[in-house]
Amino acid sequence: MRQPMIDDLGVLETAALLRELTAGLINVAGFDEALDRLVRIARDAVPGIDCCGFTALRAGEPAGVAASDPHRAELDDLRHAPDTPALTAIHRREMIIAAGLAEEARWPVWGARARALGVHGVISAPVDVDEQVIGAINLYAASPAALTPSHQLTAMLLAEHAGLLLAAVRDRERAAARSRQLDDRLLAEGVVGQAVGVIMTQRGCPAPEALGVLRSAASSLDIPLREVAERLVLTVSRPRDN
């Protein structure tokens, strides 16, 4: 009767990890910040894991890393050792497990560095983010005996869930970039730019906030933004009666 209780606890711990990961990343606007949160949450929530890292590739090229332990960040960085468990996981599209690095013949340079940094076991699980970005989440253990079959299941679920959340972050980044480009175009337009300048002068606020005020007015009045700008510029330019 004891073994099912242990299995149930593992399921509950994994469910709690996924909930915490969702809460931590659901409103994050930047991809780098999302990776930092991901590795910290995984390190703290997965029992037996000493540290966690993420290796990212964009269009097949190294595109950054995240590490819960900055002193071990080089283990996730392909610039330091291009032959790593993370890269193997990405290329093979499968989970890579090395429970005892002392007996591991793969990645000799990386393995020696990992052991020197106190890492003796690793699980790397591939993470599909979108059509441009892929990566691997890396779970590191200080003891060769620390990694168990339950860690493999957790790593698989973590990678799948992280991929969905990171894809959403990338979508938000792209939407924010498009919004900034639109704002720049609007600010460059004559009458809208003039109206924004008027609001900035009146309120002492920066251009993005002034443009937000103009947009809010257009929404409230249910008229086009340009028309609101024209009305505002016309109002302030009209001579006042003495």
**Cα 12 from Cα 162, distance rounded (Å):** 18
Tell me, what's the pLDDT at 59? 81
Q: Identify the CATH class of 2-169.
A: alpha beta
Which residues of the chain are modeled with pLDDT < 50?
A: 1-9
Q: Identify the CATH class of 189-237.
A: mainly alpha
Tell me, what's the pLDDT at 6? 36
Per the structure block, which two tokens stand in for 110?
Answer: 């990386």
pLDDT in tens, 6-32: 344 467 777 888 888 888 888 888 899
Let me know the angle formed at the C-alpha of 75 by 71 and 79, rounded to the nearest 5 degrees: 110
Tell me, what's the pLDDT at 182? 63
Tell me, what's the pLDDT at 2? 34
Tell me, what's the pLDDT at 124? 96
Domain with CATH 3.30.450.40 in the chain: 2-169
Q: Is this prediction's pTM over 0.75?
A: no
pLDDT in tens, 31-61: 999 999 999 999 988 888 999 999 999 887 8
Tell me, what's the pLDDT at 179? 64
Tell me, what's the pLDDT at 20? 85
Domain with CATH 1.10.10.10 in the chain: 189-237
**Cα 101 from Cα 139, distance rounded (Å):** 13
